[in-house]
Amino acid sequence: MFDQRYDIYFAGEILPDQDTEKVRIAVGKIFNVTGPKLEHLFSGKPIRVKVDIDEETAVQYRVAFRDAGALVQIRPTGSGPAPAAKPAQEKPSTQPQQTGSFELLPANTGDLLDCAPPDPVFQEPNLTDITLAPAGETIVNPEPVPPAEIDTHNLTMSEPRTGSLEDIQIKREPQPIPDISHLHLDN
């Protein structure tokens, strides 16, 4: 089965209502960078920060950046960087935009799971013809199960408190212990 690989790009995008300095410090801790290297990450240009990773790792990076107050762009490996981001100081519009007959949500909202293809193994059942019975009503009246007919005429039973487990113990011949004198352990 083909496993899609992804690249992670960061362009300095910060979630709305986040303190820019706190986000910079948190992102710096993710990569263990400060100073000019950290400023380079917040330049507004998409910078590839992780290359050729699986979907699970990409989601972990997205979560780590969201926890820090920033957004990343996840692109299929080889597709190139995403368009440059708005500077970190600008706040994105939270109003949906109308484009033709489609309604666009604000940029960088949603989740990877929203874009995931449907699972081909699981198909959602058609529940349109299902109705609920009134409360307290028995839905199914099961048929009584007939008792099993087991032949027990050849079984006998001992008197209570007679016999022991030794009476039913299976006698086995003791097995000789194998000669292991030729074996040794290497250190």
- For residue 55, report the phi and psi dihedrals to the nearest 5 degrees: -65, -40
Asked if the structure places residue 69 within a domain, the reply is yes
Query: Helix, strand, coil % (nearest 5) of the chain?
Result: 20, 15, 65
Rg (CA), the chain: 34
DSSP states along 62-86? HHHHHHHTB--EEEETTS-PPPPPP
Of the two residues 121 and 1, the one the predictor is more confident about is 121
Asked if the structure places residue 71 within a domain, the reply is yes
Asked if the structure places residue 140 within a domain, the reply is no
Instruction: Write the DSSP symbol of residue 165.
Output: G
Asked if the structure places residue 28 within a domain, the reply is yes
**What's the domain count of the chain?**
1
Asked if the structure places residue 36 within a domain, the reply is yes
Report pLDDT digits (tens) over 128-154: 888 888 888 877 777 888 999 999 888
Report pLDDT digits (tens) over 34-76: 888 888 888 888 888 888 888 888 888 899 899 989 988 888 8
Asked if the structure places residue 156 within a domain, the reply is no
Asked if the structure places residue 54 within a domain, the reply is yes
Query: Contact 99/39 with Cβ under 8 angstroms?
Result: no
Asked if the structure places residue 181 within a domain, the reply is no
> Which residue range forms the structural domain that includes residue 62?
19-82
Under the banding of pLDDT at 50, 70 and 90, the label for residue 1 is very low
Rounded (10°) angle between helices 20-31 and 55-68: 140
